[in-house]
């Protein structure tokens, strides 16, 4: 019976990289590379490396698990299962290595490949955000700060900001890939003693074959600051996905309803309230982001291990590596579907722009008064008082201003009416979008 939902509900293509058989194949890949390094240096016959390579293709997970049941050591179970498949040279399997020479090097291969998959998914998110930014660069809406109507902005600018954030995440993934793509062949305490003076050569040969770099110095393990950086990069991505999903959720509120995630013709929002169109996909993204962020704390705790190593990182890494990658990948996949089908409601966007009776244009009038000789601070206080008066009396701000001689002596009625058009007060928003994401 499956217990974890990352095997069912939240499963993606990423799962294949972290399945037990995939893990076993990565270990075997490193063992084969080690055998060929020894053969290259004349430590073992070339035929031994060739036999080990052929035998690695025949090792079965079931047999490894069977051996582990007896000896209680997963890596050594693999070594014995591989040796069993060798007819002549099984004694050369794992020659000179310690468990984490194999495990950490294999983990580097897995995480490197996982980052590659993540990069493709995130690049698709970036493209969708760019498309929305360009398409909606002139779609004026009300900006909200502290949950209050502020000044006009555009939906294009919202998407451009998210686009830039995702761009930075792609850079962070590149950095994370570079920092994690290292392995080791340095033995039980990092001294390379078992390789009898050929440690550096063996390590370089193994890593060159595997397409990663050799760590400059290690103890029994590759240091966990590298792995923590990878998990942190995923957590940052997850936080941005939550940020976008939360904005969609909030703008889908019944009383706002400026945009909404797609809703299928047969989709059910509530088991008891038939009218509901709950933004449950966006909410799910926000929920899962908390899980990914939580794994950062665990990854940081794995850095200060005791002496040359202890095993307190091992068990939790079986959770946090696959969990963080699979969940982040699922979140990206879901957000991309939402972005592809995102719905906008222009009549509600327009209604919300006008909801405060022009109060969102108070800043613009303040600037206009200052341009005409009013002191900036005095203009601010005047507009603050007029805005509060309009709010109390439930009038439009323009009505209040037209009754103020200190305003009308500087700005005519026709000018004031033009100044209250929110679509003419979006500053450099269009150019900002075009500079950030490019023109169509």
CA dihedral 60, 64, 66, 70 (to 10 degrees): 160
**Cα 253 vs. chain centroid, distance in angstroms?**
26
Does the annotation count 270 as an active-site position?
yes
How crowded is residue 440: how many other Cβ atoms within 10 Å of its Cβ? 10
Q: In the structure encoding, which two tokens stand for residue 293, read together?
A: 């962020």
Does the annotation count 287 as an active-site position?
no
Distance separating alpha carbons of residues 15 and 22, to the nearest angstrom: 10
Among the options 73, 132, 146, 186, which is catalytic? 146
Among the options 83, 265, 270, 429, which is catalytic? 270
Residue 30 host element (H or E): helix 20-40
Tokens 């393990």: give the residue: 221
3-state class percentages of the chain: helix first, strand second, coil last, to nearest 5: 65, 5, 30
Q: In the structure encoding, which two tokens stand for residue 221, read together?
A: 């393990």
How crowded is residue 439: how many other Cβ atoms within 10 Å of its Cβ? 9
E strands, 136-216, in order: 140-145, 148-154, 182-183, 213-214
SS3 57: coil
Distance separating alpha carbons of residues 433 and 163, to the nearest angstrom: 10
DSSP 73: -
How crowded is residue 264: how many other Cβ atoms within 10 Å of its Cβ? 7
Q: Kindly list the catalytic residues.
A: 146, 270
């Amino acid at each position: 019976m499956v217990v974890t939902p990352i095997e069912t509900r939240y499963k993606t293509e990423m799962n294949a990289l972290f399945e037990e058989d995939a893990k076993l194949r990565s270990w075997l890949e490193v063992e084969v590379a080690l055998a060929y390094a020894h053969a290259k240096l004349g430590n073992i016959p070339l035929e031994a490396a060739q036999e080990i390579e052929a035998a690695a293709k025949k090792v079965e997970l079931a047999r490894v698990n069977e051996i582990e049941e007896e000896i209680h050591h997963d890596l050594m179970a693999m070594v014995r299962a591989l040796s069993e498949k060798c007819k002549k040279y099984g004694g050369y399997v794992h020659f000179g290595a310690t468990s984490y020479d194999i495990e950490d090097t294999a983990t580097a291969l897995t995480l490197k490949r996982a980052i590659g998959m993540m990069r493709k998914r995130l690049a698709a998110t970036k493209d969708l955000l760019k498309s929305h930014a360009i398409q909606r660069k002139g779609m004026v809406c009300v900006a909200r700060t502290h949950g209050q109507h502020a000044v006009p902005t555009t939906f294009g600018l919202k998407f451009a900001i998210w686009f830039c954030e995702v761009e930075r995440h792609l850079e962070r993934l590149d950095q994370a890939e570079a920092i994690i793509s290292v392995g080791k062949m340095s033995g039980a305490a990092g001294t390379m003693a078992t390789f009898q003076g050929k440690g550096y050569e063996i390590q370089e040969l193994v890593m060159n074959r595997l397409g990663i770099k050799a760590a400059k110095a290690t103890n029994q393990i590759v240091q966990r600051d590298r792995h923590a950086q990878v998990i942190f990069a995923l957590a940052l991505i997850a936080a941005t996905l939550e940020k976008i999903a939360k904005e969609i959720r909030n703008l889908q509120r019944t009383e706002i309803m400026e945009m909404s995630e797609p809703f299928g013709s047969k989709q059910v929002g509530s088991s008891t309230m038939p009218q509901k169109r709950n933004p449950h996909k966006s909410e799910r993204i926000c929920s899962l982001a908390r899980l990914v962020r939580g794994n950062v704390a665990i990854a940081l705790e794995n850095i200060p291990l005791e002496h040359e190593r202890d095993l307190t990182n091992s068990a939790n890494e079986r959770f946090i590596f696959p969990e963080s990658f699979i969940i982040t990948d699922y979140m990206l996949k879901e957000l991309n579907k939402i972005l592809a089908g995102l719905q906008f409601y222009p009549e509600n966007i327009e209604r919300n722009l006008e909801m405060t009776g022009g109060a969102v244009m108070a800043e613009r009038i303040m600037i206009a008064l200052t341009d005409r000789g009013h002191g900036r601070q005095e203009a601010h206080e005047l507009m603050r008082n007029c805005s509060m008066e309009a709010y109390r009396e439930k009038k439009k701000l323009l009505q209040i201003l037209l009754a103020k001689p200190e305003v009308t002596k500087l700005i005519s009625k026709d000018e004031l009416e033009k100044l209250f058009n929110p679509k003419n007060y979006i500053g450099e928003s269009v150019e900002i979008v075009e500079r950030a994401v490019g023109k169509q």
